[in-house]
Structure formats: structure tokens, C-alpha cells
Amino acid sequence: MSDVALNRIRTGLMGLVMLFFIFPMIFMFMVSLKSQSDIASGGFFPEQLFWQNYPDAFGSVAVATFLRNSIIVATVGALITLLIAVPATHTIVRHQVGGKFLPAFILATYVAPPIVALLPLFFLLRSTGLINTSIGLAIVYGVMNLPVAFWLLSSFVRHLPVDFEEAARIDGAGHLGVLRHIVVPLMLPGIISTGIICMILGYNEFLLASFFTRSEATQTLPVGLSLFQGDRQLRFGQMAVASLVGIIPLYFLAAFFQRWLIRGLTTGGVR
């Protein structure tokens, strides 16, 4: 088989893979252009373009407010996760704190379903006055994603050159100095990729957000999507519009940090 034929086969396979991943987006866009009766018919293409879903989606539900809340809560939550996870992971992995039990225990906490922690977290947030607040939800996300951050960052810490840290300590740098001037710069791709993953996890979370937020000023976009409920039927067209709007920030985030994200994820897999 010639090189030209092989290139055509590779191009065709890549096209099929890309179509597989973008098809849900295309389908959602088609739904956003359909009326309620058109959606009920089950066709893929709209019989008639129904642009009214776009103004109706923003008019019936505060999509912009929910989107802003999701971005703020997910960003602050990811920062809280990194502030705790970076020094903690370096200390646990590099200095063998807790032996083999502590790393296994940290990862095991992520196995339990989130609903188990609903009541304890609710009473804790209520006692501190953080219930129904964005900062309270951000703190919950920051703590909730610590096992994921530890799992992602631990591989980066294991591959850090120990000689650099020892040389910095010989020069008089303390633990914080080594962490700031040696560990963080070398782990920056891993820190950024971990932060992006934690942001996505917080951005898409529904259960905790629906339980800890009760007002429009603090509810996030996943909770807002559940409000597109009519008296007798779901407003699928408006829901598709809100979903498309909610996906846009994640696409821009992935596109902007693509180099860092790919470098961070691939670096962690090198042995």
C-alpha cells in the first residue's frame, strides 16, 4: 500500500474520531434551533429554524448569573485545592510522611459517594455562616478535589530531581524556599493541568451545589439547567442553549492552556 493511501486512511480515521467527539455538540446545537413540537418529532435537522430559544433561555432563567457563579466557584475551589495539595503532596511523597497508609487513605476518601458527606458538610457550613454562599461552596470543592490533586501531583513529585532540592538546602534555603524556588517552577505544567482538571470537576458538579445553594445569587449553572422544567414538559430547546453557553468557557480554557495541559499530563506519565 502506497504512502498516499496510508495518509488517506489515517485522515479518514482521524475525521471519524473527531466526528465522534463533536457529534454531541452538533446535536445539541440542532436541538437549540428546534421548537418544542419539532423536538417531539425526533428528527435530527430542524424543520424550521426556531431562534426564539436563545432569548427565551436567558429570559426565563438567569443563565448569565449561574454561569458567573460557576466560573467563580470552580476557579476559587481549584486555587484552594492547589494551595493545600502542592505542599502536602511534596511533603508526603518526598519525606514519606505517613508511610504507605496516608497516601492510600487520601485516595480512598474519593471512593465514597459525595452524598455521604452532605449532612456533615451542611451542619459545618451552617455553623460557620457559609451556607448558601459562593465561598462556602468553593471551600467544599477545594477540599473535595484534594484526593484527585494528590493523585495527579504525586507522579510529578516523584520525578523531580532530588539534587536540586539538596543543593538549595545547602545554600541555606528552608522548606518554603525550596518549595517556592525549586519545586513549584519545576512542577508548573503539572500544577496547571491539575488546576484545570479540578476546575472542570467543580464546574460540572451538581449534587453539592443543589444542596448548599438556595438562591439565584449563589446557584451554579448545573443547578440552573435543572430549572428548565415546564409545567408538563422539559424545555429542551432552551436547555440546549444554556448547555452550549456553559460549555464555551471550558473550550476556551482547554484551548488557551492546551500546551500546558498536554505537557503536564504527558510529563506525569514518563517513567
The whole-number pLDDT of residue 267 equals: 57
The whole-number pLDDT of residue 271 equals: 44
In whole numbers, what is the pLDDT of the chain averaged over residues? Answer: 85
The whole-number pLDDT of residue 68 equals: 94
Residue 234 bridge partners (DSSP): 229
50, 237 Cβ separation under 8 angstroms: yes
Distance CA 4, CA 7 (A): 5
- Name residues whose C-beta falls within 8 Å of residue 222's C-beta, 6 or more positions apart in sequence: 70, 204, 205, 206, 209, 210
Mean pLDDT score, 246-269: 75
Give the pLDDT band of residue 175 (cuts 50, 70, 90): confident
What's the distance, CA 237 to chain centroid?
25
Segment 68-99, tens digit of pLDDT: 999 999 999 999 999 999 999 988 888 877 77
Distance CA 66, CA 147 (A): 27
User: If you write DSSP's letter for every residue of 5-31 in order, what string do you get?
Assistant: HHHHHHHHHHHHHHHHHHHHHHHHHHH
| Amino acid letter, residue 94 | R
Global pTM reads: 0.86
CB-count exposure of residue 158 (10 Å: 0-12, 13-18, 19+): exposed
Residue 229 bridge partners (DSSP): 234
Segment 141-164, tens digit of pLDDT: 999 999 999 988 888 888 888 877
Spell out the domains of the chain, with CATH numbers in brackets. 62-227 (1.10.3720.10)
Enter the DSSP assignment of 114. Answer: G
The whole-number pLDDT of residue 248 equals: 87
The whole-number pLDDT of residue 266 equals: 65
Distance CA 87, CA 187 (A): 11
Distance CA 150, CA 67 (A): 28
Q: Is the pLDDT of residue 140 over 50?
A: yes
